[in-house]
Amino acid sequence: MMHPARQAYERGMSLDEIPTDYNYDMPAGSAGIAPEKASAILSQFERKRMAANIAVPTDDGRGATETADVAMEDAPEDEQADHEEEFYTNGSPELLHARQEIARYSLPRAKRRIAFEKQEASIPLRTHVKFRKQIKEQLQGFELQGSQTAGDRNVSMTRISPNGEVVAAGNWGGSIKLIEIPSLKEKMTLRGHISRIGGISWFPGATLPECNVSPNTVNLASGGAEGQVNLWSLSQDTPLSTLEGHGQRVVRVEFHPSGRYLATASDDTTWRLWDVETTTELLLQEGHSRGVFTVSYNTDGSLLASGGMDSIGRIWDLSRSTGLTGVPTATEY
């Protein structure tokens, strides 16, 4: 096939009649141009060729070489609105009731917290500094008291009980060992997961005599890499109940300060809220583009913070007494 330039030379064609040739070869680095620079030039030519082939109808004199940005500007408003439209799904009556209960629980505690913070703000700064120095001195005296093997495989999660006398240690094998403090004697092994333990949370007030939490009721929650969440008592080594719903690994579990609800975070990009008593799923919350790695409540129990592998943290208002669920207003940082 004869090159267009050769055809023009032999046939006497004018410059305007010469067709555009996109089948060209760039010289390699050995010919004087670095391969990186040659690749960049080729990419630029390719983008220009694709832009020239985009037919953009205009009525203001702009040519057909306008890029796709012009097409987006001229797109119908309805199509643009589809990309920004928020959607909501109807929430269950159980979720509405849970929101109301969370509001009733958190509001008086928030009032007490604010009053305490106002009182604390009146304390001179030098008093705060002196107190922190005392804590630092105490921490410098810490030393290793003992160690204990907590499984045949790597230990993935540990949590100390509210009374400070038991530590729950989960491992990659799927078991959880309850170890006494300070003797480090193995008290019990909880078996119910088949893969790595991702999260452990003690029930608020568990193991504390003044809280009257029976060892035969829920004292502990755990999540596993198989996607299940187990609720445990301290009187048997098998789960009291299992919460199923997550499609991938459960990374963290956290009891609400009231003890009535449990939040779970998973690699399936969602976190969920469960009713501990009925073991029902109240809320499936999306909002992260990648796996949710952690969840945590504030002390009042009205807010929940979630952090994901998408490098985004969100703050969720749990006490919104509305019959709708979806994507609540979130604070990103």
pLDDT at 319: 78
pLDDT, tens digit, 9 for 90 and up, residues 116-162: 999 999 999 999 999 999 999 999 988 888 888 888 899 999 999 99
3-state SS record for 27-91: CCHHHCCCHHHHHHHHHHHHHHHHHHCCCCCCCCCCCCCCCHHHHHHCCCHHHHHHHHCCCCEEC
Q: What is the pLDDT of residue 242?
A: 96
Q: What is the pLDDT of residue 98?
A: 93
* Residue-number span of the structural domain to which 28 is assigned: 4-77
Residues 96 and 47 both lie in one domain: no
pLDDT in tens, 205-222: 999 999 999 999 999 999
pLDDT beyond 80 at 331? no
Give the CA-trace dihedral at 9, 14, 16, 21, to 10 degrees: -10
pLDDT band at 188 (very low <50, low <70, confident <90, very high): very high
Q: How far apart are the first and last CA of the chain?
A: 60
Q: Is residue 32 part of a domain?
A: yes
Query: Quick one: the chain helix, strand, coil %, rounded to 5?
Result: 30, 25, 45
Q: What is the CATH number of the domain that holds 293?
A: 2.130.10.10
pTM for the whole thing? 0.70
Q: Are residues 46 and 107 in the same domain?
A: no
The domain boundary, picked from 77, 105, 131, lies at 77
Instruction: Calculate the alpha carbon distances from 322 to 100, 106, 152, 328 in Å.
Output: 9, 16, 48, 11
Whether 133 maps to a domain, the answer reads: no
181 occurs within a structural domain: yes
pLDDT tens sequence across 275-302: 999 999 999 999 899 999 999 999 999 9
**Residue 321 confidence (pLDDT):** 43
My answer on whether 32 and 99 are in the same domain is no
- Report whether 172 contacts 153 (CB < 8 A): yes
Looking at the structure, tell me whether residues 306 and 197 fall in a common domain: yes
| pLDDT at residue 107 is higher than 90 | yes
Q: Where are the alpha helices (DSSP H) in the chain?
A: 4-11, 35-52, 68-73, 77-84, 93-121, 125-140
Instruction: List the Cα angle 159/161/163 in 5-degree steps.
Output: 150
Residue 221: is it exposed, middle or buried by C-beta count within 10 angstroms (0-12/13-18/19+)?
buried
Q: What is the model's pLDDT at position 47?
A: 73
Average pLDDT over residues 227-231: 96
Residue 186 covered by a domain: yes
Check residue 12 and give its pLDDT.
65
123 in a structural domain: no
| Mean pLDDT of the region 66-77 | 47
Domain assignment present for 170: yes
Higher-pLDDT residue of 40, 125: 125
Residue 207: the pLDDT is 95
* Residue 199 pLDDT greater than 70, yes or no: yes
pLDDT score for 55 = 53
Give the chain's length.
Answer: 333
What is the pLDDT, as a whole number, of residue 155?
Answer: 94
Q: Is the pLDDT of residue 7 over 70?
A: no
Q: Which residues contact 324 (CB under 8 A, 6 or more apart)?
A: 88, 89, 90, 91
Total domains present in the chain: 2
Residue 307 has a CB neighbour count (10 Å cut-off) of 19
Closest listed residue to residue 265, CA positions, set 202, 323, 314, 300: 314
- Residue 315: inside a domain: yes
Instruction: Decide if pLDDT at 184 tops 60.
Output: yes
Domain end, chosen from 17, 47, 77, is at 77
pLDDT at 4: 61
| 256 found inside a domain | yes
Question: What pLDDT, on the 0 to 100 scale, is given for residue 33?
Answer: 58
Q: Dump pLDDT digits (tens) for 232-272.
A: 999 999 999 999 999 999 999 999 999 999 999 999 999 99
CA distance 128 to 312: 32
Residue 58 binned pLDDT confidence (cut-offs 50, 70, 90): very low
Residues 191 and 70 in one domain: no
Looking at the structure, do residues 225 and 247 belong to the same domain, yes or no? yes
Residues 69, 98 share a domain = no
Peptide bond into 108 cis (omega under 30): no
Closest to 230 (Cα-Cα) out of 238, 218, 219, 241: 241
The three-class DSSP label of residue 182 is: coil
- The residue-averaged pLDDT of 312-329 equals 63
Alpha-carbon dihedral sign for residues 34, 35, 38, 40: negative
Of 1-10, 65-74, 79-88, 209-218, where does mean pLDDT reach its minimum? 65-74
Mean pLDDT (the chain, rounded): 82
> For residue 325, what pLDDT is reported?
39
